[in-house]
Amino acid sequence: MTTRYIFITGGVVSSLGKGLASAALGALLQARGYKVRLRKLDPYLNVDPGTMSPYQHGECYVTDDGAETDLDLGHYERFTGVPARQSDNVTTGRIYSDVIAKERRGDYLGGTVQVIPHVTDAIKAFVLNDVTDEDFVLCEIGGTVGDIESTPFLEAIRQLGNELGRDRAAYLHCTLLPYIGAAGELKTKPTQHSVKELLSIGIQPDFLLCRADRDIPRGERRKIALFCNMKEECVIPALDVDTIYDVPNAYHKEGLDVEVLKYFRLLEEGQEEAIDLNGWNEIVSRVRSPEGEVTIAVVGKYVELLDAYKSLNEAMIHGGIANNVRVNLKWMESEAFEKEDPSQHLEGVHGILVPGGFGERGAEGKIAAAKFARERKIPYLGICFGMQMAVIEAARNMAKIEGAGSTEFGPCAEPLVGLLTEWKRGNVLETRSEQDNKGGTMRLGAYPCHLKEGSLVREVYGQDDISERHRHRFEVNIAYKDKLEAAGMAFSGMSPDGVLPEIVEIPEHPWFIGVQFHPELKSKPFEPHPLFKSFVEAAIKQSRLV
C-alpha cells in the first residue's frame, strides 16, 4: 500500500483558508474513491489549545479519543466524515515536550540535542505515524512561511520530500493576490516573495492556491508560473465563495484535484471529470435557496470572535440544511442580560441557544436567557455550560432552592453544579482535584449515554444509547435530581452507571433540552446532528406562532 503525502503551507498573511483548502481537497480526493486522512501541525509553544482563550485561538475542537485540537480538524471532519484522532494534531510544545522527555530518560545517549535532527525527526515521526491504508495524507502546517516558529516544521517536510520521493510527496502553497484599487489590478508580487521564501529553505511548491476576491487574468497566472518556476495549470485560482460548502466545487472547476492526480500519475487520459459532486451541489443549493428562514439567538460570552463557536455555527447551518431553511444567528453577549431586561433582545426570536463556556463572567445572563425561554415557551438548547445554567435556573425558580449555584464560581449554599472529582472511562477510574494542572484534566472525548424511554431526546435520536463528545470540568450534582424532577425538570439522559446527568428536558415545554456534551462537534453537512435538526424544526414551528 502506497500512501502519498501532500503538505499544505501558507504565505503572505494568515487566515487564507489553508484548513478549508485541505478539507476541500480531501473531499475531492474522497469523491474520486481515495481514502484520505488530514493532519495539522501547529507552530505555537502550547502543548495543545486546551488552556488557550477562545479569543486567542478560536474554539478548541475535541476528538472521540479526547484530544483537544485546532479548529481546522473540525473542517476536516465535516468535509470528509473521517473522525479525527489524537495523532492528527501536534504543536511545537508537544514536540519539544517529547524531545526533552527523551533527553531526560537518556534516549539520546548523552548526545547534544538539537533542532536538526532531533526536533525535525520527532516531527517527521508524527507525520508518518498511525497511517495504515490511507491513499493520501494531507498535512497542513499552521502559521505563515517566514515565521520563526514554523521553521522546524518546514525543514521537517523538506526532509520528508527527499526521503519519500517525488512519487509520494507534493507541496501545495496558499497565497494572496491583493487587489490594489488605485492601480486597478491584482498584484502578484506578494505571491512571488512568498514562494521565494519557501525556495530559500529548499521547498519548491508543486501547486499554488491563489486567494483573490475577483477573477485572476490568464496573463497574471502565466506571470506567477514563470516567476515561481512551475506549470501554469498548477496556479489555481481560489476565489471567494458565498458558502464554504461550495469550495470543493470551486476548486474542482479550477482543476485542483485533476492537477494533483496528474502529478502523482494517477489520472488516465479522459478521466478528468470522473467525479460525483452531486451531494455537494445539493447542499449548496439548499444553502442558497432555502424555503424559509428562522432566527436563533445565541447567548454566549465569546461572541466578539465567532471562531470561538465555529462548530456551533456550522451545526446550525446543518440543521437548516436538514429542514431546508436559512438559520439566521443573532449573536448576543450574555453579560448584557445582567444589566438589561432580556425581553428587549429576545422578543421575536424563534429559538434560544446557550453554548458552552468557562468562568463566572456572563453566567447570570445565561441563566436569564434560560428563564426567558422556559417561561415564554421558546425552543431552548443549552450546551454544556448552557445546560448547567438551565439547571440552576430551574432549581431557583421551579424547585425554589434558594442559593442554587455552581462551585465553579466559588463556594455556594446549594451546589447544583460541582467539580467532577472522579468518573469512569470504560473500566478505568479517572480522578481529578482542584490542585491538578488545567491542561488536559477535564472529562474529554466520547462517553456513552442512556436515553430515558418516552423522553423527547429518545424521540430525537431514535435510539436508546448514544455516544457524544465532552469537554468540561464541572457536573450537575446528582443529589438534586429528585427535587428537580419533582419540580418538572426531567433527567432524560444519564451515564450508563446512572451517576452522571447528561441530558435534562422540561416535558411541559414544547422543546427545552440541555446537554452536558457538545453535539456540534459531530454534526456534518451530509449528516446533520439530530439535536440541531430537531431544534431548528421546533424553531420553524415557533416562527408560525410569532
Known catalytic residues are 384, 518, 520
d(CA 188, CA 181): 14
Could you tell me the maximum CA-CA distance found in the chain, to the nearest angstrom? 75
| Residue (of 224, 242, 246) closest to 233 by Cα position | 224
Which region, left, alpha or beta, applies to residue 21 given φ > 0 means left and ψ of -120 to 50 means alpha?
A: alpha
**Cell numbers that stand for 77 in this block:** 471532519
Q: Which residue has the cell 463572567?
A: 361
| Number of CB atoms found within 10 A of residue 540's CB | 21
CB within 8 Å of 167: residues ≥ 6 apart: 2, 4, 264, 265
d(CA 502, CA 466): 11
Q: What is the number of H-type helices and E-type strands within the chain?
A: 18, 25
Burial of 266 (0-12, 13-18, 19+ CB in 10 A): middle
Long-range pairs of 50-59 with CB within 8 A, sequence gap ≥ 24: 50/438, 50/439, 50/440, 50/442, 51/438, 51/439, 54/302, 54/305, 54/307, 54/308, 55/302, 55/304, 55/305, 55/308, 58/305, 58/307, 58/308, 58/310, 59/307, 59/308, 59/309, 59/310, 59/311, 59/312
d(CA 273, CA 264): 17
Strands (E) across 215-255 are located at: 235-239
SS3 133: coil
Strands (E) across 119-248 are located at: 136-141, 169-176, 179-180, 185-186, 207-212, 235-239
How does 356-374 read in b/e, with b if 16+ C-beta sit within 10 Å?
bbbeeebbbbbbbbbbbbb
| Residue (of 210, 198, 269, 215) closest to 234 by Cα position | 210
d(CA 537, CA 253): 35
